[in-house]
Amino acid sequence: MCMQIVTPRDSTTQHDLPNKNMEAVKKEEMKKGPWKAEEDEVLINHVNRYGPRDWSSIRSKGLLQRTGKSCRLRWVNKLRPNLKRCFFSGCKFSAEEERTVIELQAEFGNKWARIATYLRGRTDNDVKNFWSSRVKRLARILHNSSDASTSPKPPSRRNKGQNVKPIQCFYPPQVYYFQSFGLVEEEVTTASSSSSKILPYSSSDQVDEALRLSESGIKLEHQPFSFGTDPLMSEPHIANQQATIPFYPESRELLARLDNPYYYDILGPAGCSETLFALPQPFFELPPAERRCRHVSKDDEEEEADVFLDDFPADMFDQVDDPNQSP
């Protein structure tokens, strides 16, 4: 990544410039690219002194040759306290965070900043990047699947070392699609118990898109999947678990048009809204009226904890320490 020095030229940059300094700054060079430690230090000192505001004044005071927007972005995404760091594997989204993002994306759309408020230590950029990479992966999977290759692809590097048979990487791409875009209600069944999580809603647009994908000739495989084989779920990788994918009634009716036996086989009982998956509370806002009321039975909760949580990274519990606590 190379450092880049440019002069202000676009309207956005000029908007950041106070009028009184416009002429002077036009002659100056604006610094872009990666931040140096010294610049971070200057920015942190400024925030410590004046608070996270008046970003433009950082340049007008001659402290940094950065736009106010750049300063704000640096602070929000990297320097702000209580962000999850990448010292070890802390940056990676936990399975719980992935589920939360998927569900909230289905509920709110691409409102990354809003979604990020539900994930302690995550920024909108984190969520956006996570979603973007997930969509890219999905697109690639769909593309590969539409090639209709009969020979299964080997596990991606994300599955390396998980002792997964390559063939298991294939379950219907549409399921990936629906999961990623919040269409499905997923029921996770273990040997001794079951729990379910309900994704918020299914829009007709999403179903239409799914139908379009189906009509484009995407190959379907007739087999269940396990968590350990989901190329889009980085963790946990729990073997010997299978999931059925029931849909909401209206989605089901549309999906029937897919005319594929897979869906008829995997559809579970409709309207199974009794066992519900609990979303974390937002950390920076409290819109209780918009939160869907969910509950998990005690047995299911304990069982899920036994089966799932032991394999989760410890930091994933950061977000559920105290749901009532809001900074």
Partner DNA sequence: AAAAGACGCAACCGCCGGAAT
Partner DNA sequence: GATTCCGGCGGTTGCGTCTTT
Q: Which of residues 247-286 bind DNA (CB under 7 A)?
A: none
By CB atoms closer than 10 A (0-12, 13-18, 19+), residue 24 is: exposed
CB-wise, 6 or 278, nearer to DNA?
Answer: 6
- 321 Cβ contact list (under 8 Å, min separation 6): none
For residue 74, state whether it binds DNA (rule: CB under 7 A).
Answer: yes
The closest alpha carbon to 34, from 70, 6, 80, belongs to: 70
Q: Which of 160, 212, 291, 295 binds DNA (CB under 7 A)?
A: 160
Helices (H) and strands (E) in the chain, counts: 13, 5
Nearest distance in Å: CB 44, DNA: 13
Map tokens 């273990």 to a residue. Answer: 190
Nearest distance in Å: CB 258, DNA: 26
Q: Which of 44, 73, 238, 296 binds DNA (CB under 7 A)?
A: 73
Q: Which of 86, 191, 293, 314 binds DNA (CB under 7 A)?
A: 86
For residue 170, state whether it binds DNA (rule: CB under 7 A).
Answer: no
For residue 313, state whether it binds DNA (rule: CB under 7 A).
Answer: no
- Tell me the window of 5-13, 190-198, 247-255, 292-300 that interacts with DNA (CB under 7 A): 5-13
Distance set, CA 87 to CA 43, 122, 287, 312 (Å): 22, 15, 33, 17
- 3 Cβ contact list (under 8 Å, min separation 6): 31, 32, 33, 34
For residue 44, state whether it binds DNA (rule: CB under 7 A).
Answer: no
The whole-angstrom separation of Cα 201 and Cα 183 is: 6
For residue 35, state whether it binds DNA (rule: CB under 7 A).
Answer: yes
Residue type, 155: P
Residues that bind DNA (CB under 7 A): 1-2, 6, 10-19, 22, 31-35, 53-56, 68-70, 72-74, 76-78, 86, 91-92, 110-114, 124-126, 128-130, 132-133, 136-137, 140, 154-158, 160, 231, 234
